[in-house]
Amino acid sequence: MEQAPRLNLSERVIRALGLALLVFGGFFPLVWMLLTSLKTEGELQQFPVQYLPSQPDVANYARVFSEQPFGTFFMNSLIVSVLSTLLCVAVAVPAAYALARLEIRARGLLLTLVVAFSMLPVVSLLVPLFRLMRSAQLLNSYPALILPYAALSLPVAILTLVAFFSAIPRDLESAAMVDGSTRVGAMTRIVLPLSLPGVVTAALLVFVNSWNEFLLALSFNTRLNMRTVSVGVTLYQGEFAFPWPLISAAVVIAVVPIVVLIAVFQKRFVAGLTAGGVKA
Amino acid sequence: MRTEAGNVRTAPAPRARRRRGGDGLLAALLLAPAVLLLCGVLLFPMLTTFRDSLFVNKLTEPWAGTPFVGLAQYAQMVGDPRFLTALRNTLFFGVLTVGGSFLVGIPMALLAHTPSRVRGLARVALLLPWAMPPVITGLIFAWLFNGQYGVVNDVLVRAGIVGEPLRWLSTPGLAVVAMVVTIVWKTSSFVALIVLGGLQGIPRELTEAADVDGATRVQTFWRVILPLLAPSLAVAFIFRAISAVQVFDIPYTFIQQAPAQGLLETLGVYIYRTSIEFLDFGYAATLSVALFAVSLAVTLVYVRFVRGGEG
C-alpha cells in the first residue's frame, strides 16, 4: 500500500495547510457562485460583503428558466455533448487500435500528425468552418456542433486510447489468435473489454470538452432555441447591467453535469490526463 | 507483431507476408473514419484559411468583391499596431500565466501525491478548475473581481491592505492582474495533473534511498525528484504554451465586462473580432495564419522533444 511518510510535526502542519488551501482554492469560486445565487439583488449591493445570504432564496433559479429558455439550452448541450462523444469514441477506438497494435510503417508520422491536429487554434478555423457549415446548410443544427466537437476532441481521444491499448499485453491477443480467433475477433473480444477504462476516460474527456465549448456554439447556432448552456449563461447580462444573482444561478446549473462527472470519475480523469500528457 | 514474428520462426515466409498485407488493409479501414473526420473538419478549413489570407474579403464592402491581393494583407498585418499590441499582450500573458501555473501547479501536485485522508476531495478540488468551462470561469472571476461588491475587494479592505474597493476590471494594470490570476487558477490544475503523472512514475526506492542517505526532503526534491520530473514538466510546459498562445474565452468574457480594455486583447480575441465583428474575413485569415505559425513553432518543439524521448 501507500508509504507511511515519516513526517515531523511542522511538515504535517504545512501539508495540512497546503491541502486546506488546495481544497479551498478549488472549490471557493464555485461555492461563491452558489452563495451569490441565493441572494437578492439588494443583498448583493452591500459593502462590506455579507458572506451568507440572510434568507436563502431559490427564486433566481426559477428566473433562470423563465427569462431564457435555459431548459432548452441544457437539453441542447446534453444532446450535442453526448452525440459528439459517441461519434468521437466510435471513430477513435478503431484508429487508436490500429495505431497501437497493427504494423503500420507510417505509424510515427501518423501519431505526429494527430498531435499536430490537437494543437490547431479553434478561432483560426472559425470562418472557414462557418462557411462549410453554411454551405452544407447545417447552421443552427446539432451536427453544426457535433461534427467539429468530435473532430476537435479526436486527437486527444486517440492519444489517450493509444496509451491504454499499448498497456495491454500483446500475448493475450496472440493467444486468442493461435486458438483460431481472427484479428478482429481478438480485438473485440479481448482487447476492447480490457481497455474499457480507457474508453470511458476518453469519452469523459470528449464530453467535458464538448460541454465547455463556447466559440463555435456562439457563432454557429445563433437561434435562441439552438443555444447551448455555455453561451446561455452569457445571455442574462444586459448591455450595462449584470444581474449577478441570476447569472450565478445559471452558472451553477450549467456546471452541475461537470461537477457530478468529476466527483464520480475523479480517478479516471486523473488516470486519463496523467497517462500520456494529454491536452486539456 | 514483433514478438509474434519471433515466436513463429518456422512459419513460411509467404504466410507472414500475407499476414502483413492483411494488416495494412485492416489498418486502412480502421483509420479511415478518423482521417475523414480530421481532414474534413480540421485540415480542409485550415487550408482554406491559407487561401483566404491571399484575398480581400470584407462583408462590409460587398461592392469590392474578393480580389486576389497576394501577400498584401501580410504586409498590412506587420504594420498593424493593433496586431502588434495583441501579439505582445498574448506573449506577455503567456509568460505570466504559464510561469504562474507552474508555480502553483507543482506544489498542488506534490500535495495531491502524498497520501492523505482527504485525497478524494483534494483530487476533485484539483480537477474542478481544469474541467470548468473557460467562459464560465471568466464570468465567475469577473464577479470575484467586481469593482464595487467583489469578494476580492472585500477581503483586501477588511485586511486593511487597501482603503477602498479597487476597480479591478476598468483599471488597466489591475485588469491584467485579474486576468492573469484567473488564467493561472484555471490552468494550474493541468500542470498539476501532468506532474502528478510524473510523480507516480518515480520509483519509491529512489526517494527512500535518498532518505536513508540522510538527504533532507528539500534536497531530495531538488536533486532526485525534480530531475526525474523533467520530461513531465516539458510536456506540461509545451501544452501550456500552446493553450496560452491561443487563449480566447477568458479574455473575451473580461472584455465584455470592461469594454475599453485594449490591454486585454489577445491574438485570439483580435481574430474573433476581425472576423465576427468587423466581418473582414480576408484579414482575419491572415491573422489566423500568424496564429498557426506561432502554434506550429511550439508544436514542432513538442514533436521533436517527444520523438527524441522515444528514440
Q: Is B11 on the interface with A (CB under 8 A)?
A: no
- For residues B265 and B89, the answer to whether their CB atoms sit within 8 Å is yes
Predicted pLDDT at A215 = 95
CB pair distance less than 8 Å for B302 and A115:
yes
pLDDT interval class at A57 (50, 70, 90): confident
Q: What is the pLDDT of residues B203-253, one digit of tens each?
A: 888 888 887 888 887 888 888 888 889 888 988 898 899 999 999 999 998
Give me the amino acid identity at A143.
P
Predicted pLDDT at A255 = 96
Residue-averaged pLDDT of chain A = 90
How many contacts does A have with B, using Cβ atoms within 8 A?
302
What is the rounded average pLDDT of the residues A198-227?
Answer: 95
Q: Quickly count: other Cβ atoms within 10 Å of residue A27's Cβ.
A: 17
3-class secondary structure, B274: helix
Give me the amino acid identity at B8.
V
Predicted pLDDT at B296 = 86
Tell me how close the Cα of B185 comes to any Cα of chain A, in angstroms. Answer: 8
Q: Pick B37's closest partner by Cβ from A3, A150, A234.
A: A150
Predicted pLDDT at B234 = 87
Residues of A in contact with B52 (CB under 8 A): 127-128
Q: Output phi, psi for B9, to 5 deg.
A: -65, -30
Distances (CA, A) of A98 to B27, B39, B161, B172: 5, 18, 60, 52
Half-sphere exposure of A60 (CA within 13 A, CB side): 25
Q: Does position B308 have pLDDT exceeding 90, yes or no?
A: no
What is the rounded average pLDDT of the residues B43-57?
Answer: 95
Q: Is B218 on the interface with A (CB under 8 A)?
A: no
pLDDT interval class at A172 (50, 70, 90): confident
Q: Does position B192 have pLDDT exceeding 70, yes or no?
A: yes
Q: Does position A59 have pLDDT exceeding 60, yes or no?
A: yes
Peptide bond into A48 cis (omega under 30): yes
What is the rounded average pLDDT of the residues B183-204?
Answer: 91
pLDDT interval class at B4 (50, 70, 90): very low
What interface predicted TM-score (ipTM) does this complex get? 0.91
Q: Grid coordinates in use for B124? A: 476533485
Question: Which region, left, alpha or beta, applies to residue B205 given φ > 0 means left and ψ of -120 to 50 means alpha?
Answer: alpha
Q: Is B153 on the interface with A (CB under 8 A)?
A: yes
Q: Which residue of A has its CA nearest to B27?
A: A98
Q: Does position B2 have pLDDT exceeding 60, yes or no?
A: no
